[in-house]
Each structure stands twice: as C-alpha cells, then as structure tokens.
Amino acid sequence: SIDIALDLLFRDNFASLRNAILPGEMDKIEFARTLFQSILITDIATPDRVKLGIERFKASQDSQDPDVGLCPLASHISDLFDGVGLDESVKDEHPDEFVVTSSGLKRCVRNEHLMLLSDVSHLCQSWENFIKWNFRLFKELMDCHRKKLCDNPRETWVQGQIAFFDKYIIPLAERSHTFFPDEFGDAIITNAMNNLKLWTMFGIQATNIMALGVRNDEREEAVLMELYGLGSDYLARKGQK
C-alpha cells in the first residue's frame, strides 16, 4: 500500500501537490518517516510487529535513551529513501535525523497509536457505530466464505470479538489515553468497555441476527435496526431502574 501511494503521489499530475508538501529534503525525510511509521504499525496480523509497538510505547514513557533496536524503520531505510526520491547521501548530510532519540521515539509512538486507534475506532465509539461496522465486516467475510476464500466466520465470531476487545482494543485504548485530554481518553476506554459488556450479553443474539440477515439477503437498514435495538433497549431498561 505504501508503494502504491507513493507511486501515485510521484506521478506528473500530482506535481503541484507534491511540491507543496515536499519542497525540500528535510520535508521528504519527515514525510517518509511519518508515512512508514504510521502504515507499518497497522499490520496487526504480525505478532512481532505488535509486540515491538508495545515495547516502543513502554520505552517512550521512560526518560532513558531508547534502544536503537526499537526503531521501526531500521530495516526499511532503503525503501524510505527510494519512495520519496532521496539517496543514501542524506544520512551524511542530515545525520541527526537518523539517530534514535527519546523525543523522536515519543513522536513515533504517538503517530503509531493515532493510526492504530483510527484503524479500529468504531470499537471505541457508540454501540450503534460498533455494531454497524461489525455487521459490515461480517458480511464481507461471509461473502469470502461463500467464495471459499476463508472459513465460516460465524463459528468463531462471538468469542473472537470478546478476545479482540480483551487482548487488543482495551489495552490499546488505555495506552492511547496518554496522548489525549483526559475527557477524550476516558471516553474511548469507557466506550470500549461498554461495547465489550454489551457484546458479552448480546453477542450470540447479534451474530444470529447478522447471519440470518446475510442468508436472507435482507436490507442492511432492517438488520441494523434489530442490532441497534439490542443495546438501546438494554440501556433504556437500565436507565429506568
């Protein structure tokens, strides 16, 4: 995806945009660094990459000089240079830009967590937004299953969402709190925990509604109204007590 994006950016018809955001060498270095940091971290299917991201977060909270091995770009420097039209000489011309520092690590970790949270933000929002995108993902995977591209998602859907909340989403929300004002940081944690609670209560029922809707080719709006009702009805009853 990085290669495709950069190939498009460096086409002639985007020259004005490119010149506006990348007027000089330092701009190209910063742009490429931020781009690679932000995109590479979203590969959450690779356990080692996720583990290193968490280690970088922990190191960023420490005042000591970071381990150079934590740099996410170390093995991608050549790609970084090629992507924005630089060559190896920039390391000699701007050596300070390629040193792993405490402040640089903090910026990197901030960028990574903003991207990670953006990537799964619906899980940290309202029940309605969470369940809408959950259903759309379910539909997409069911379509892949019909084409024999993956296993039936329904078999592991309920427990899979619970595990994802427990092991990934809530820890991510808690780490991300560091980068936001308290009110917003508290909200993403609270929303994630509320969605986990509602899914634990209604996940089986929600998955049955989704599966039936896909099987019968029901209108999305009709299926969503049923799914929204699971959470809103419970919250309404709770508010009356």
- The pLDDT value recorded for residue 78 is 84
- The pLDDT value recorded for residue 241 is 47
Judge whether 206 and 199 are in contact, CB under 8 Å: yes
Judge whether 177 and 185 are in contact, CB under 8 Å: yes
What is the length of the chain? 241
- The pLDDT value recorded for residue 149 is 97
- The pLDDT value recorded for residue 239 is 60
Task: List the chain residues with pLDDT less than 50.
Answer: 240-241
Residue 133 is classified by DSSP as H
Amino acid at 24: G
Give the helix ranges, DSSP H, for the chain: 2-9, 15-21, 25-40, 47-60, 77-83, 89-93, 102-119, 127-146, 157-164, 170-176, 182-215, 220-240
pLDDT tens, position by position, 55-97: 999 999 887 778 878 888 888 888 888 888 888 888 888 888 8
The residue whose two tokens read 């640089």 is: 104
The pTM of the full predicted model, rounded to 2 decimals, is 0.87
CA-wise closest residue to 162 among 198, 136, 109, 121 = 198
